[in-house]
């Protein structure tokens, strides 16, 4: 474990280091949009309403993909996209119910 002095130094660094960081605006916009699309209140992210309003201007929706290789791409071409249930039911057109792990 850490000594009390090391713990305090870590706490200070943990609060100071993010002040020097920069956001990847595209990834941040994608993450915030995903949170909003899930129906969650963006207030829990710690961004002010003004910051969120400014960042919403840059939201362009999900990034388009152009994958042409790899195991998942090949699987999707042969069996179907995973979001339509192709993983649990190969050849399925769409899932009509949800699964939940208990």
Tell me the pLDDT of the chain averaged across its residues: 77
pLDDT at 5: 95
Q: Give the SS3 label for residue 36.
A: helix
Q: How far is CA 77 from CA 5, 21, 96, 102, in A?
A: 56, 40, 22, 32
Q: What is the pLDDT of residue 7?
A: 92
- Integer Cα distance of 81 and 94 in angstroms: 9
Which is more confident, 48 or 33?
48
In the prediction, which pLDDT does 2 show?
87
* Chain segment 70-88, per-residue pLDDT in tens: 777 777 777 766 666 655 5
Taking only Cα atoms into account, the Rg of the chain, rounded to an integer number of angstroms, comes to 21
At 6 the pLDDT is 93
Rounded distance, CA 35 to CA 38, Å?
5
- Domain segments of the chain as ranges: 4-56, 65-102
- Quote the CA–CA distance of 14 and 19 in Å, as a whole number: 10
């Amino acid at each position: 474990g850490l000594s009390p002095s090391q713990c305090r130094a870590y706490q200070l660094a943990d609060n100071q280091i993010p002040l020097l960081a920069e956001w990847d605006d595209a990834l941040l916009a994608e993450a915030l949009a995903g949170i909003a699309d899930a129906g969650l209140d963006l207030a829990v992210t710690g961004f002010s309403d003004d910051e969120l309003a400014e960042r919403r201007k840059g939201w362009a929706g999900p990034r388009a993909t152009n994958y042409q290789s790899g195991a998942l791409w090949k699987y999707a071409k042969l069996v179907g996209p995973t979001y339509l249930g192709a993983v649990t039911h190969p050849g399925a057109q769409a899932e009509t119910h949800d699964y939940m792990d208990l």
